[in-house]
Amino acid sequence: MSYPTFFNPEESYSRSEIEALQLDRLQATVKHCMHSPFYRERFRQAGLTPADIRTLDDLRKIPFTTKQDLRDTYPFGIASVPLDKCVRLHSSSGTTGNPTVILHSQKDLDEWANAVARCLWMVGCRPEDVFQNTSGYGMFTGGLGFQYGAEKVGMLTVPAAAGNTLRQLKFFTDFGTTVVHAIPSYAARLYEVMCEKGIDPRRDTRLRTLVIGAEPHSEDTRKRIEEMLGVKAYNSFGMSEMCGPGVAFECPEQNGMHIWEDYYIVEIVNPDTLEPVPDGEVGELVLTTLKREAMPLLRYRTRDLTRILPGECPCGRHHIRLDRMKGRSDDMIILKGVNIFPIQIETILMQFQELASDYLITLETVDGNDAMTVDVEMKDLSLDDYGKLQSLTREITRQLRDEILITPKVRLVPKNSLPKSEGKAVRVVDTRKKY
């Protein structure tokens, strides 16, 4: 059967078409936001009215919206429609204070499903595919977000939900799953259990495509997962404040994630000065929603650090590409005054073929000083091979020191000895005394 290349016409818009659409939608969004008590007050304080937004550059006159604003207005204070227009809410875990609530109208849910479907279609998902979703359902948007998107593509969709790995594997073989959505740490776990059970993914399953996202991971991690499972793995980026998955997604080129600019205006700013960074430099991603009805967000500071990849993508889409996420500004470890992102450590570790995929960074206070230990699981090295272990530990330590400029204590630990989580992997434990 022959299918169109693009899921929506907007997907193949030229730059000038994208920008014209963005201006229309920005003006409409700003007007609509005046139904929100929060934005009405923000605009009043800034001495702004919707009529002041005449060009896309005028966006910069609008104050930023932060996660703190969502908390301060918990639960419904930012909404731009009355509650009876809303049909769903999602909420973050709220481990650090009030949780945040995101409201959706029926129209928002339809658009969200469309955006996710567009992503899946882009990497070759078609109605003949069987899509298995290993995300938690419920408040975590990776569950329902992919469910509706995959159904919109027309795939047979298996809402397997998180955990119960043996059941996941049974579904793969019984239902002929071809596409899986999993967080990267869980994709590696699926493979480990396949090995334990003597399942060869290439021989015993029809797996072809993997969608991996929700947590930072390195290019080497992707390559490993692709090799293990015999699939192509595509990076998927989203967050609940922007609906969830479907914000940015890799195309078949696997070189950066196209962010759908008919839905979002992208800015990259210096997180300290809040000024735009020069083209192509890393900074904080700031997003303005362009088609949200229940709860549009203007200039939302995501705290995610990334950059815009320069140049055109050979796939023919003109929506800009975001580089792999470096992490969130609040994931940054400050150790002995040095700024370190966990992904820098992962990038080094995953280059060692002897190491498995799981690692844990522990930060402690030892004799009044900051110290870092990196525990990393080995693939199949025996603990008896002392000489080999020592030289490997030394080499890993040396490469980590070159990358992060401090010397961590590296411990090679047996496979499956580090704690596993059902949701996003916990990579950093900080037990340092806070003064």
Report how far residue 31's alpha carbon sits from residue 52's, in angstroms, rounded to the nearest whole number: 11
Q: Which residue from 309, 315, 332, 389 is in contact with Zn ion, where contact means CB under 5 A?
A: 315
Q: Which residue from 251, 265, 287, 308 is in contact with Zn ion, where contact means CB under 5 A?
A: 251
Whichever of 292 and 319 has its CB closer to Zn ion, that residue is 319
Contacts of 419 (CB under 8 A, 6+ apart): 360, 426
Report how far residue 260's alpha carbon sits from residue 115's, in angstroms, rounded to the nearest whole number: 8
Report how far residue 226's alpha carbon sits from residue 234's, in angstroms, rounded to the nearest whole number: 10
Whichever of 13 and 346 has its CB closer to ligand ADP, that residue is 346
Q: How far is the CB of 157 from Zn ion (least distance, A)?
A: 25
Of residues 290-349, which lie at the interface with ligand ADP (CB under 6 A)? 302, 304, 325, 328
Of how many residues is the chain composed?
A: 435
- At which residue do the structure tokens 């693939």 appear? 379
Whichever of 241 and 293 has its CB closer to ligand ADP, that residue is 241
Q: Sign of dihedral through CA atoms 319, 324, 134, 97?
A: negative
Binding mask 200-239 for ligand ADP (x = CB under 6 A): -------------xxxx------------------xxxxx
Binding mask 126-145 for ligand ADP (x = CB under 6 A): ---------------x----
Asked if residues 301 and 66 have their Cβ atoms less than 8 Å apart, the reply is yes
- Binding segment for Zn ion (CB under 5 A), chosen from 81-89, 273-281, 315-323, 412-420, is 315-323
Asked if residues 27 and 262 have their Cβ atoms less than 8 Å apart, the reply is no
Binding mask 21-40 for Zn ion (x = CB under 5 A): --------------------
Query: Which of the listed partners (ligand ADP, Zn ion, none) does 322 bind, with a CB threshold of 5 to 8 Å by partner kind?
Result: none
Burial class (CB in 10 A: 0-12, 13-18, 19+), 366: exposed
Q: How far is the CB of 236 from Zn ion (least distance, A)?
A: 14
Q: With binding defined as CB under 5 A, does residue 309 bind Zn ion?
A: no
Report how far residue 263's alpha carbon sits from residue 320's, in angstroms, rounded to the nearest whole number: 12
Residue environment code for 397-409, b if the CB has 16+ CB neighbours within 10 A, otherwise e: eebbeeebeeebe
Query: Which of the listed partners (Zn ion, ligand ADP, none) does 313 bind, with a CB threshold of 5 to 8 Å by partner kind?
Result: Zn ion
Sites of contact with Zn ion (CB under 5 A): 251, 253, 313, 315, 317
Sites of contact with ligand ADP (CB under 6 A): 92-93, 141, 213-216, 235-240, 302, 304, 325, 328
